[in-house]
């Protein structure tokens, strides 16, 4: 990890741990605004709109492995990615509102022909989580949340590789889970994830600034300003 001149140290993050992290704390670049703002409820008190208790526990645990908290940069949990996923599943994405969902369906068709499940993404989460939990119990001797991190990673890898026997209607589960986790990490904070724009600060993305007229062509010069969100907040 190199710290670029004129840019806040990426090592400056306080490492958050697990579910109870209420608000991101920044060392060095602490944002007065962010700290004055009312903190959102801790994740265990967040009022869910789609996921049930068991699903929430799984999504929390899975996100924490897909983008872990240790090391440089925030993890999915500090960024409140599970909140993002819950809201997306309750919304148009979860309902596949925009997609063509008329049959006949051939969910086992060659993957190059794209999504062919009769189930919406929200339904896929709902059916795939228990199926995956069953497999974790049988193969690793416990529910996903109960496994050691290394075993959780192994289980997710099996899921990704298609080694977990899921019905073909559910085969996009891992790709949705991973894509949604990264979306929640990097999307505008208005969607519930990327809390405090931590993921943007971490990589150096300035968000919705939208005007860089004097910047094209500068050689190896790091843009100095931190991110701004669509609602005008700054990190």
Partner 1 sequence: MATRTDPKKDVVIIGLGWTGAIMGMELAGEGLEILALERGEDRNTVPDFQYPNTFDELKYGVRYGLMQKPVNSTLTVRHNTQETALPYRQLGSFLPGDGVGGAGVHWNGQTWRPQAVEYRLRSYVEETFGADIIPEDMQLQDWGVTAEEMEPFLTKFESVAGIAGKAGNINGQIQEGGNPFEAPRSADYPMPPLKNTWDSELFADAARKMGYHPFPRPSANASMQYVNDYGMQLGPCNYCGFCERFGCNNYSKSSPQVCILDALKRKPNFSYKTKCEVLKIEKAADGKTATGVTYFDDNTGEEVFQPADLVLVCAYSLHNVHLLLLSEIGQPYNPDTGEGVVGRNYSYQMTGGTGLWFKDKVFNPFVGTGAGGMTIDDFSMSQIDFGKEGFIGGSYITCGHTGGRPIQQMSLPPGTPGWGAGWKAAVGEWYGHNLSIGSHGSNMAYRDTCLDLDPTYKDRHGRPLMRMTFNWKDNDIKMTQFMKARIEEIAKSMNPDAMASGYKGDGAQYDVRPYQSTHNVGGAIMGIDPKTSAINRHLQTWDCHNVWVMGASAFPQNLQYNPTGAVGGLAYWALEALRKDYLPNPRPLM
Pick the binder of partner 1 from 19, 22, 101, 131 (CB under 8 A): 101
100 binds partner 1, rule: CB under 8 A: yes
Q: Quote the least distance from Cβ 202 to partner 1, whole Å.
A: 6
From CA 4, how far away is CA 45, in angstroms rounded? Answer: 38
Q: Quote the least distance from Cβ 81 to partner 1, whole Å.
A: 12
Closer of 53 and 216 to partner 1 (Cβ) = 216
Closer of 17 and 45 to partner 1 (Cβ) = 17
Q: Which residues contact 43 (CB under 8 A, 6 or more apart)?
A: 19, 20, 21, 60, 77, 80, 82, 83
Q: Taking contact as CB under 8 A, which single stretch among the options 22-30, 37-45, 103-111, 126-134 is the one that binds partner 1?
A: 103-111
Q: Quote the least distance from Cβ 45 to partner 1, whole Å.
A: 25
From CA 228, how far away is CA 209, in angstroms rounded? Answer: 6
Q: Taking contact as CB under 8 A, which single stretch among the options 38-46, 49-57, 99-107, 123-131 is the one that binds partner 1?
A: 99-107
49 binds partner 1, rule: CB under 8 A: no
Closer of 39 and 230 to partner 1 (Cβ) = 230
Q: Which residues contact 206 (CB under 8 A, 6 or more apart)?
A: 200, 223, 225, 226, 227, 228
Q: Quote the least distance from Cβ 136 to partner 1, whole Å.
A: 17
Pick the binder of partner 1 from 99, 130, 163, 168 (CB under 8 A): 99
3 state SS of 234:
strand
Closer of 101 and 146 to partner 1 (Cβ) = 101
Closer of 45 and 157 to partner 1 (Cβ) = 157
219 binds partner 1, rule: CB under 8 A: yes
Tokens standing for residue 169: 């209607």
- Alpha helices, DSSP H, located in the chain: 32-36, 53-66, 81-90, 92-95, 121-140, 149-160, 173-186, 198-203
Sign of CA dihedral 85, 87, 89, 93: negative
∠ CA 68-69-75 to the nearest 5 degrees?
A: 75
From CA 45, how far away is CA 60, in angstroms rounded? Answer: 13
From CA 189, how far away is CA 227, in angstroms rounded? Answer: 11
By the criterion CB under 8 A, which residues form the site for partner 1?
Answer: 1-2, 4, 10, 65-68, 70-73, 75, 92-93, 96-102, 104, 106, 109-116, 153, 156, 160, 178, 181-183, 186-188, 191, 199-200, 202-213, 215-223, 228, 230, 232
């Amino acid at each position: 990890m190199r710290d670029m001149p004129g840019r806040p140290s990426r090592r400056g993050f306080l490492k958050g741990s697990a579910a109870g992290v209420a608000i991101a704390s920044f060392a060095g670049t602490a944002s007065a605004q962010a700290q004055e703002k009312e903190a959102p409820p801790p994740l265990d008190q967040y009022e869910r709109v789609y996921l049930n208790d068991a699903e929430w526990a799984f999504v929390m645990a899975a996100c924490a492995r897909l983008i872990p908290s240790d090391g440089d940069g925030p993890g999915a949990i500090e960024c409140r990615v599970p909140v993002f996923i819950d809201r997306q599943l309750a919304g148009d994405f979860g309902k596949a509102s925009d997609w063509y969902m008329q049959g006949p369906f051939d969910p086992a068709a060659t993957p190059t022909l794209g999504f062919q499940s009769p189930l919406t993404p929200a339904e896929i989460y709902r059916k795939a989580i228990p199926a995956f939990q069953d497999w974790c119990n049988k193969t690793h001797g416990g529910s996903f949340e109960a496994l050691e991190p290394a075993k959780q990673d192994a289980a997710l890898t099996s899921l990704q590789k298609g080694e977990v026997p899921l019905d073909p209607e559910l085969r996009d589960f891992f790709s949705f889970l991973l894509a949604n986790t990264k979306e929640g990490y990097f999307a505008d904070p208005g969607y519930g994830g990327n809390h405090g724009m931590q993921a943007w600060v971490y990589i150096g993305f300035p968000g919705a600034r939208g005007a860089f007229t004097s910047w094209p062509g500068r050689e190896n010069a790091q843009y100095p300003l931190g991110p701004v969100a669509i609602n005008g907040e700054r990190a």
